A and B are shown apart, each in its own frame.
Chain A
Amino acid sequence: MTRFTDEELMRKVQEGFIVESDQDMTESYRKALVNQLTVQGDTELMSAPAYWMAAKDAPSTNTMVSATAIIQDELGHANIAYRILQDLGVDTDELLYERPPEKFKNPFGFDQPLANWAELVTANGLYDRAGITLLSDVHRHTSYGPLKRALVKVGLEENFHLRHGEAWMKKLCEAGGEGRELVQRAVDWMFPMGVEWFGMPDDRKRHNAQLDFKLKGMTNDQLRATWLKAVVPLCESLGLDVPAHSDPETGEVELEYALPCEWDADERRWLFDTTITWEQVFDRWRARGPMNEEFVTSIRKSRAQTEKLLAA
């Protein structure tokens, strides 16, 4: 490994160099890439049990096929990330089956239960949009060739998830009554989850290896703004209330609360008037949400038993 220094590699990737093999990277590059792919794989993987929880609430056989197809895609996307991690020398068996559940790097939103069909489709509309925002930036800018190529397929499939979410949100909202109320309630707690997903604002964020090594192109605030510019107009067009508004002239979106704010886990609602620090947010993320352990256990449950059967 390593025919470049970190500084040389940083300069080369900014000039368009594409990393293809171990010889092209440095240890710091590999570490930053492994971290990025672990977040990516864990997020895709842990979306599956969350979505599955609500997919059982599908209103028909056809819609259940749509929901389970999305879950199947997410598992496939997780496979892609973990497979690249294997190429980078990571023991993915350990990562998947022995890592303590609280060490999974999925966002806090996928530690939460999804209670019904409206929550599933709102998650597809808001969270899959966050996924697309992050991954399309990686696809466009990453200096790591194998990931860039793998993301083409991921992108095409994520489109369908987003479509599923937005079309169903619209259908339920147009129906009015309880359908609209359920979507509104889902948006109430999921929208700020999405805002927080993109992490600390740029002025708080120190040195960023992922940007230096061109593993992504946009900063946290730029990514958050991109997501808001898609999600807020969608919600506005459906008549859903969100604590943000778009400026009709510039198209920019402004949040109507100070970020970050307190999450009332018992009531599953945000306390917009209680501003907290990012350190408190990280503590909450580290303490994990209510479904973390159960979701991780659910993907592991029958592995040991089946291995015993096969070894007999």
Chain B
Amino acid sequence: MERLVQLTRRPEADAGYESELERGMDFSAVFAETIGRNPDFALEVPEWADPPADLAETAWRALHEVADPEFPISLPDLGLVYGVEAAGSTVRVTVTFTASACPCVEFIKWDIRERLLAEPEIDGVVVEVTWDPPWTTDRITERGRRALKKAGVSI
């Protein structure tokens, strides 16, 4: 009987994913609603040695705590943030999306605003969308690649 390829055990095809499953990793966390906040499926946030140099840097660091709505990867690690500028207490963030029909455009904008406005020095947030240069998987950072692999996504 023909078998559905991606449902069949094929350790050689994607060793990382299958071995996590073999080790009994609990994928139930993928069903938890707060991906970025679930301890089993948490965002890997970088540790910064020095305090931020300026407001733009504060915002850039804060964006590392904003998760993609589907996967436990931050927007900068996914390579979506093209620029962060500050003028007074207003921050302007330039972002792109992985596809022109990205279903999460609104959420990502809401999440950026919400996280940045949680910083006491930030009073205003402007999110600019650009498609130039177009996003490709090359823009995903090493940390981002680790996060996606953990979620069972191969790039």
Measured between beta carbons, the chain A residues less than 8 angstroms from B71 are 156
Given A136-B28, A145-B9, is A159 in contact with B4 using a C-beta cutoff of 8 Å? Answer: no
Binding site secondary structure of chain A: helix
Say whether A146 faces chain B, with CB atoms less than 8 Å apart.
Answer: yes
Asked if A163 contacts B4 (CB within 8 A), the reply is no
Tell me how far the C-beta of B22 lies from the nearest C-beta in chain A, rounded to whole angstroms.
11
- A65, A89, A149: the one contacting B102 at CB < 8 Å is A65
Given A160-B70, A163-B69, is A155 in contact with B30 using a C-beta cutoff of 8 Å? Answer: yes
Measured between beta carbons, the chain B residues less than 8 angstroms from A20 are 9
Number of A-B contacts (CB under 8 A): 83
Give the size category of A's interface with B. 35 or more
Asked if B1 contacts A22 (CB within 8 A), the reply is yes
Query: How many positions in chain B have a CB within 8 Å of any CB in the partner chain?
Result: 30
Asked if B4 contacts A69 (CB within 8 A), the reply is no
Say whether B103 faces chain A, with CB atoms less than 8 Å apart.
Answer: yes
**Bitwise interface map of A from 53 to 66 toward B, beta carbon under 8 Å scored 1, else 0:** 00000000011011
Asked if A163 contacts B28 (CB within 8 A), the reply is no
Asked if A155 contacts B27 (CB within 8 A), the reply is yes
* Closest Cβ neighbor of A68 among chain B residues: B103
Binding site for A on B (CB under 8 A): 1-4, 6-9, 21, 26-28, 30-33, 35, 69-71, 101-107, 110, 151-152
Binding site for B on A (CB under 8 A): 20, 22, 62-63, 65-66, 68-70, 80, 83-84, 87, 89, 132, 135-136, 139-140, 145-146, 149-150, 152-153, 155-160, 162-164, 166-167, 230
